[in-house]
């Protein structure tokens, strides 16, 4: 990946007719939005601006399972469901293409179990969308010593592969990438016609959005190729096999800013996962990682005409605050964000 750090490289040929779009953020949301903008507005100059890339993003920590939590919310139920359906369809198209391996998109069969709560093995947002969602048989429940369960076939997108794949596609379409930390979106006013703001947890500082709260997550990435199914147990213990590793988790610590690995969390995750699947005792630990999920009550995908003290204005479409669901929901919210960009540019948009 070639990244420019020079301000002057930012905009190649200045063409007065060319729409200049900046996408802030190079996590799964920024890269997905940037690629979709290139497709939707042919001839536009699209530039990604971000201070962190690849393995330094929160997206890299995620397992990437398509499993919306019931608290995942857009502005209303209809839009939320559309985001979820659009996302699944987007990944399904990749899954059924020759790009699937390179993009890190795989079919994911597995189980959602609970030892005491029948309601948490049901998911009204997921059931109508995924390939299969059925109650577990008594034999399956007995096998895993669980009281309630659902068998599900969904999709998993591993960002360790997906981010490089999307970066390659973006650059092949002429997209530019700049490594830069922004103190304010005002720094982009005048240089771009519109900004798509996909800065994740960075929104707290970049646009002063205090409703964005860190939801700390700690995981192990292990190698255990004999495990082929995913498992969610009482929501807080999960075993999610990707391509190159299996993610073992987890924690969901609201308002915690601690990005260091905590040995107590590690011990708890390890004990819970190996109690559930004893064969994991033999797994090779590849890495321990922590990420701050960008939690926001309602994921923010909306237009804003920003006005600054110096009289400058900037058209912005926000696309952030996906919490623990940014990988699975990135395509849906980005398709929606692209339609808002087109609206702000006075172009026809079809939602």
Instruction: Answer yes or no whether residue 219 interacts with ligand FAD by CB under 6 A.
Output: yes
Instruction: Answer yes or no whether residue 338 interacts with ligand FAD by CB under 6 A.
Output: no
The least distance separating ligand FAD from the CB of residue 138, rounded to whole angstroms, comes to 29
Alpha carbon distances (Å) from 268 to 236, 237, 265: 11, 10, 5
Alpha carbon distances (Å) from 91 to 23, 52, 129, 318, 329: 21, 24, 12, 22, 10
Question: HSE of 325 in the Cβ direction (CA atoms, 13 Å)?
Answer: 28
Distance CA 29, CA 338 (A): 12
The least distance separating ligand FAD from the CB of residue 17, rounded to whole angstroms, comes to 28
Distance CA 298, CA 315 (A): 21
Beta bridge partner(s), residue 132:
153
* Site residues (CB under 6 A) for ligand FAD, limited to 63-102: 63-65
* Site residues (CB under 6 A) for ligand FAD, limited to 242-261: 249-250
94 vs 328, beta carbon nearer ligand FAD = 328
The least distance separating ligand FAD from the CB of residue 290, rounded to whole angstroms, comes to 7
Instruction: Answer yes or no whether residue 58 interacts with ligand FAD by CB under 6 A.
Output: yes
How does 291-326 read in b/e, with b if 16+ C-beta sit within 10 Å? Answer: bbbbbbeebbbeebebeeeeeeebbbbbbbbbbbbb
Instruction: Answer yes or no whether residue 30 interacts with ligand FAD by CB under 6 A.
Output: yes
Instruction: Answer yes or no whether residue 332 interacts with ligand FAD by CB under 6 A.
Output: no
The least distance separating ligand FAD from the CB of residue 325, rounded to whole angstroms, comes to 4
Instruction: Answer yes or no whether residue 293 interacts with ligand FAD by CB under 6 A.
Output: yes
With CB under 6 A as the contact rule, the residue among 224, 327, 338, 340 that binds ligand FAD is 327
Handedness of CA 286, 288, 292, 293 (dihedral sign): positive
* Residue span binding ligand FAD (CB under 6 A) among the ranges 106-114, 167-175, 265-273, 322-330: 322-330
With CB under 6 A as the contact rule, the residue among 21, 22, 23, 26 that binds ligand FAD is 26
Give one DSSP letter per residue of 113-128, joined into a string: EESS-GGGG--TTTTT
Instruction: Answer yes or no whether residue 202 interacts with ligand FAD by CB under 6 A.
Output: yes
* Site residues (CB under 6 A) for ligand FAD, limited to 149-188: 181-182
* Residue span binding ligand FAD (CB under 6 A) among the ranges 131-139, 200-208, 222-230, 297-305: 200-208
Instruction: Answer yes or no whether residue 272 interacts with ligand FAD by CB under 6 A.
Output: no
The least distance separating ligand FAD from the CB of residue 51, rounded to whole angstroms, comes to 4
38-42 long-range contacts (CB < 8 A, ≥24 apart) are 38/170, 38/173, 38/174, 38/175, 40/338, 40/341, 40/342, 41/338, 41/341, 41/342, 41/345, 41/347
With CB under 6 A as the contact rule, the residue among 328, 335, 337, 340 that binds ligand FAD is 328
Per the CB < 8 A criterion, the answer to whether 205 and 144 are in contact is: no
Q: How many CB atoms lie under 10 A from the CB of residue 197?
A: 29
The least distance separating ligand FAD from the CB of residue 16, rounded to whole angstroms, comes to 27
Instruction: Answer yes or no whether residue 110 interacts with ligand FAD by CB under 6 A.
Output: no
Instruction: Answer yes or no whether residue 294 interacts with ligand FAD by CB under 6 A.
Output: yes
Q: How many residues bind ligand FAD (CB under 6 A)?
A: 41
Q: What are phi and psi of 335, to 5 degrees?
A: -60, -40
Residue 249, SS3? strand
Instruction: Answer yes or no whether residue 27 interacts with ligand FAD by CB under 6 A.
Output: yes
Give one DSSP letter per residue of 39-69, joined into a string: HHSTT-EEEEEES--GGGSGGGT---B----
State the residues that interact with ligand FAD by CB under 6 A.
Answer: 24-30, 50-52, 57-59, 61-65, 181-182, 198-202, 206, 217, 219, 249-250, 291, 293-294, 320, 322-328
């Amino acid at each position: 990946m070639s990244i420019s750090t020079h301000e002057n490289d930012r905009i190649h040929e200045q063409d007065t007719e060319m729409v200049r779009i900046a996408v802030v953020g190079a996590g799964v949301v920024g890269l997905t939005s940037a690629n979709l903008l290139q497709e939707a507005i042919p001839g536009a100059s699209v530039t990604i601006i971000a201070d962190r890339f690849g393995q330094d993003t929160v997206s890299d920590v995620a397992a990437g399972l398509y499993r919306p939590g019931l608290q995942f919310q857009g502005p209303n139920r209809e839009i939320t469901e559309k985001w979820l359906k659009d996302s699944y369809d987007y990944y399904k198209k990749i899954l059924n293409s020759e790009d699937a391996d390179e993009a890190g998109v795989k079919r994911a069969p597995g189980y959602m179990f609970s030892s005491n709560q029948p309601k948490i093995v049901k998911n009204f947002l997921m059931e109508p969308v995924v390939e299969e969602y059925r109650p577990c048989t008594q034999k399956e429940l007995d096998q895993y010593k669980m009281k309630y369960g659902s068998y599900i076939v969904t999709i998993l997108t591993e960002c360790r592969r997906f981010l490089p794949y999307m970066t390659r596609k973006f650059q092949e379409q002429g997209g530019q990438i700049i490594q830069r930390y922004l103190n304010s979106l005002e720094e982009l006013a005048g240089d771009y016609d519109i900004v798509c703001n996909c800065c994740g947890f960075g929104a707290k500082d970049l646009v002063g959005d205090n409703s964005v709260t860190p939801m700390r997550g700690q995981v192990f990435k292990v190698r255990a190729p004999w495990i082929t199914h995913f498992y969610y147990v009482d929501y807080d213990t999960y075993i999610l096999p990707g391509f190159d590793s299996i993610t073992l988790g987890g924690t969901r610590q609201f308002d915690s800013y601690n990005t260091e690995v905590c040995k107590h969390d590690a011990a708890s995750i390890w004990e819970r996962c190996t109690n559930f699947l004893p064969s994991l005792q033999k797994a090779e630990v590849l890495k321990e990682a922590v990420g701050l999920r960008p939690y926001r009550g309602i994921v923010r995908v909306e237009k804003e005409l920003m006005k600054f003290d110096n009289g400058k204005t900037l058209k912005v479409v926000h696309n952030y605050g996906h919490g623990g669901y940014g990988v699975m929901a990135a395509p849906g919210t980005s398709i929606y964000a692209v339609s808002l960009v087109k609206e702000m540019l006075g172009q026809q948009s079809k939602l």
